A and B are shown apart, each in its own frame.
Chain A
Amino acid sequence: MTVRARWSLAAVALAAVAAVVLLLWPRPPAGVDAVAGAGPYQVRLLVAAPSVGARDVLVEVTGPPAERVVVAPVMSAMGHASVPVTAAATAPGRYRAVGVELFMAGRWDVAVVVHGAGGPAEAVFPVVVGP
Chain B
Amino acid sequence: MRFGTRTTRGLVVATAVVAGLLAGAAPASAHGGVVGADLRIAASLGDRELTVVIRRVGQVPGPLRVDVVNHAESPGGVLRIGAAPWGGAPAGNETDVRLTDGGGFAGGVLQVDRAGSWELSVADGRETARLPFVVPQDVMAPWEWTVSGGYTAAGTLLLAALAAAAFGRRAWPPTALGAGAVAAVVVATTAALLSAGIPEPETDPLTGLPGPARPVAAPVAPPHVNLLASAELTAGRRGPVDLRLVDGATGRPADDLVVHHDALLHLMVLGPGGQFAHVHPVRLGPGHYRVWLTPAAGGTHRLFAEIERRGGGVQVVSAAVAASGPAVAGVDSGAPGPGDRILADGTAAHVQATGLVAGEPTVLGIELSRDGRPVRDLQPWLGMAGHLVTTGPDGGVGHVHALPVGAMGSGNAPDESVATGGPRVEFVYTFATPGRHRLWFQVERDYRVLTVPVDVDVAAGPEAGS
Contacts and interface: CB of A to CB of B under 8 A. Distances in A.
A80 B401 CA distance: 7
Interface string A101-123: 00111100001010100111110
Interface stretch (B263-271, B287-295, B333-341, B457-465): B457-465
Contact of B464 (A78, A103, A106, A121): A121
B426 interface: yes
A40 B465 CA distance: 9
Interface stretch (A43-51, A81-89, A91-99): A81-89
Given A1-B1, A113-B360, A120-B462, A79 B428 contact: no
A118 B464 CA distance: 10
B272 to A, nearest CB: 30
Contacts of B314: 79
Given A105-B409, A113-B360, A120 B464 contact: yes
Contact of A83 (B403, B409, B426, B466): B426
A104 B429 contact: no
A122 B401 CA distance: 24
B462 A119 contact: yes
A24 interface: yes
A29 interface: no
Nearest to B428: A81
A122 B466 CA distance: 7
Nearest to A1: B1
A74 B408 CA distance: 15
B1 A83 contact: no
Nearest to A78: B409
B373 to A, nearest CB: 26
A113 B361 CA distance: 10
Given A52-B408, A103-B403, A104-B408, A83 B428 contact: yes
Contacts, number: 52
A113 to B, nearest CB: 7
Given A120-B464, A121-B465, A103 B408 contact: yes
A72 B361 contact: yes
A1 B193 CA distance: 33
A16 B252 CA distance: 63
Contacts of A31: none
A113 B1 CA distance: 73
Contacts of A111: 361
Contacts of A24: 193
Interface in A24-65: 24, 39-40, 52
A122 B464 contact: yes
B465 A39 contact: yes
B408 A82 contact: no
A89 B1 CA distance: 71
A83 B401 contact: no
Contacts of B324: none
Contact of A84 (B403, B428, B466): B428
Contacts of A113: 360
Contacts of A80: 401, 403, 428
B363 interface: yes
B417 interface: no
B430 interface: yes
A82 B428 contact: yes
Given A1-B1, A84-B361, A103-B403, A119 B463 contact: yes
B360 A106 contact: no
B438 to A, nearest CB: 20
Residue from the set A1, A72, A82 with the largest chain B CB neighbour count within 10 Å: A72
Nearest to B2: A1
B429 A39 contact: no
A70 to B, nearest CB: 8
Contacts of A105: 409
A110 to B, nearest CB: 12
Contacts of A70: 360
A111 B359 CA distance: 12
A113 B465 CA distance: 11
B401 A81 contact: no
Contacts of B408: 52, 103-104
B430 A81 contact: yes
Contacts of A84: 360-363, 428
A123 to B, nearest CB: 10
A74 B430 CA distance: 11
B259 to A, nearest CB: 16
Contacts of A106: 409
A1 B429 CA distance: 73
A109 to B, nearest CB: 12
Given A80-B401, A81-B428, 5 more contacts: A52-B408, A79-B401, A81-B361, A119-B465, A121-B466
Interface of A: 1, 24, 39-40, 52, 70, 72, 74, 78-84, 103-106, 111, 113, 115, 118-122
**3 tightest A-B CB contacts, nearest first:** A81-B428, A39-B465, A104-B409
Interface of B: 1, 193, 314, 360-363, 401, 403, 408-409, 426, 428-430, 461-466
11 contacts: A70-B360, A74-B361, A80-B428, A81-B361, A83-B428, A106-B409, A113-B360, A119-B462, A119-B463, A120-B461, A122-B464
